[in-house]
Amino acid sequence: MSIQHLGLYSRFFLLFTATTLLLVVFIVLGTFTLSEEQAKQIVLERHAQLSDMMVDVAIPTVDIENLRSEATRNRVQIQIDDGERTWTTADPLPHQDELLEAAEQLGSLYFARHGMQYYLLTEHNGTWIIITSGIANLLVYPKWLVYWPWLIVLLIVFVSYRLLIGQLKPIKSAVYSAKQISQGNFDYRITDHPKNDLAELTHGLNKMASELKKLFTAKDDLLLAVSHELRSPMARMKVSFALLEDNDTVKKLGEDVQQMDLIIGQLLESERLQQPEKALHIDTYFLPQFISEVVDEHKTQERLDVIGDVPEIAVSMDGGRIKFVLRNLINNALTHSGDTVSLLIKLDAVEPLVAISVTDQGVGIPEALLGDLFEPFTTSDSIDKRSTKGLGLGLYLCKRIAIAHGGDLTVDSQPGEGSTFTLILPYCD
């Protein structure tokens, strides 16, 4: 079975097992590796004992079978040369004359490096004994090469990290996709699908986005169709009420009809904002003058307190629609601040965004309700009362206007401490 056909858990198990085993092996090697200087110091401290052991294998005569047995048991390779004959326990080792050219005498022994192999030599009555060890050659290195196991450890960690990132990349894509869907971007699709179990997740998110887009499109189409169909009878009703004799009943019915006409207008407006490039009438406004107009036009301007300096910047926006948003936020804030308490308006600009905050001193909004605050036709009284005419459309439409401008509308509220609504817009220099 190839790795591509393994499940996600099997891949993780293989990755973690291989990484752990390799790390253990090379960390152990790194712990026991020695530099040439350290190896020479050890040989110098034990040269007499090592020399006696090497001489013993050549006295009085060489028993090649016993020599091979000793070499295998001690995991070394031995070569003996008496000038006439050479005995070796494996492949022939370099001649003593060749090794002595670069050898360093350590007591009664000679320490030599030939290529990447290390050798110990000693002479007794004209007989040379040469010994080398595979384990010693694995543990002893010149200069910076002594650190090679630790370099391998770092490489293993890096490769494992990259492999792990590659395996978990679909999860990152899935999180980003879920975030886009939660923000209403139903056109986002994951294009890079993994060849493991997570493919079901990425394909499932793409399918969910498609189904949600169909659902919301159908909802918007229904609202638009109903709104258009209601326009004509509403117009006829308004004309009929205008012809009736004026009394309290007619007045109340007329107000209800006006309210229904406002709802229909807001529904049509929210639909038009689906294509902001066609709906918005963008112009450039000097922010201090614009805010001054919004405050001066309000009937209770004495209760509006603009704190701090208004940034002297130009903002590209649809002035009429942004005024609608600010009036809506101000009216809601005044409603929840009592009859005499002022509300605070603050402006902050951090390129490329400007934030316009409206803060009331009301009862606040419960945290559980904040998520539905900008949804149309909300049912909770705590939310409805903050929207235009109590029907949950005002803040919904304000949010759509902000998004259509490339900005956002957010809320920060604590029960009993009031609420702050912040309109965020991009601005130009």
Question: Lowest-confidence range among 61-70, 129-138, 320-329, 388-397?
Answer: 388-397
- CA 379 to chain CA centroid, nearest Å: 36
- Going from the C-alpha of 309 to that of each of 175, 241, 288, 291, 423, the distances in angstroms are 40, 49, 9, 11, 17
Percent share of the chain, pLDDT over 70: 90
Domains of the chain are 33-141 (3.30.450), 210-277 (1.10.287.130), 278-426 (3.30.565.10)
Whole-Å CA distances, 401 to 143, 270, 355, 381, 425 = 69, 8, 15, 24, 10
Region 77-86 average pLDDT = 89
- What is the spatial distance between Cα 302 and Cα 340, in angstroms, rounded to a whole number? 10
Please indicate whether residue 228 or residue 105 has the higher confidence score (pLDDT): 105
More confident residue, 143 or 385: 143
Alpha-carbon distance 151 to 163, whole Å? 18
Query: Three-class SS string for 11-68?
Result: HHHHHHHHHHHHHHHHHHHHHHCEEHHHHHHHHHHCHHHHHHHHHHCCCCCCCHHHHH
Q: At what angle do helices 394-404 and 248-272 cross, to 10 degrees?
A: 30
- pLDDT tens digit sequence for 376-428: 765 444 444 444 444 567 888 888 889 889 999 999 988 878 899 999 999 86
Q: What's the pLDDT at 145?
A: 86
Cα(6)–Cα(209) distance, rounded to whole angstroms?
A: 28
CB 380 within 8 A of CB 369: yes
Whether the CB-CB separation of 20 and 27 falls below 8 Å is answered with: no
Omega within 30 of 0 (cis) for the link into 352: yes
Looking at residues 331-339, what average pLDDT do you find?
A: 79
Cβ(96)–Cβ(128) below 8 Å: yes
Task: List strand residue ranges (DSSP E) for 302-418, in order.
Answer: 304-307, 314-317, 343-350, 353-359, 408-413
CB 360, CB 418: distance < 8 Å: yes
117, β-bridge pairs: 114
Render pLDDT for 280-326 as a digit per residue (tens, 0 to 9).
888 999 999 999 999 988 888 888 899 989 999 999 999 988 998 99
Q: How far apart are CA 39 and CA 150, in angstroms?
A: 19
In sequence order, which residues have a C-beta less than 8 Å from that of residue 64 and are 6 or more positions away? 87, 89
Tens of pLDDT, residue by residue over 192-242, are: 887 777 888 888 989 998 998 888 778 777 766 776 777 778 778 777 777
**Where residue 276 falls among pLDDT bands split at 50, 70, 90?**
low
DSSP 8-state secondary structure symbol assigned to residue 195: S
Query: In whole numbers, what is the pLDDT of the chain averaged over residues?
Result: 83
Look at residue 392 in the predicted model and tell me its pLDDT.
Answer: 61
The torsion defined by the Cα of 15, 21, 24 and 28, in degrees rounded to 10, comes to -140
Which comes out higher in pLDDT, residue 391 or 276?
A: 276
Contact 344, 358 (CB under 8 A): yes
Query: What sign for the dihedral angle of Cα 398, 399, 400, 406?
Result: positive
**pLDDT over threshold 90, residue 119:** yes
| pLDDT for 379 | 45
pLDDT of residue 110: 94
Least-confidence region, from 118-127, 226-235, 325-334: 226-235
How confident is the model at residue 1, as a pLDDT? 46
Mean pLDDT calculated for residue range 64-80: 86
Residue 156 has pLDDT above 90, yes or no: yes
pLDDT tens-digit map of 24-44: 999 998 888 889 899 999 999
* CA distance linking residue 67 with residue 71, whole number of Å: 6
Q: Compute the distance between CA of residue 16 and CA of residue 165 in angstroms, rounded to an integer.
A: 13
Higher pLDDT, 137 or 258: 137
Residue whose structure tokens are 């159908």: 218
What is the mean predicted confidence (pLDDT) over 358-375? Answer: 82
SS3 of residue 414 by DSSP: coil
Tokens 């205008």 identify what position? Answer: 242
| Cβ-contact 23, 153 below 8 angstroms | yes
pLDDT at 5: 62
The residue to which tokens 């920060």 are assigned: 412
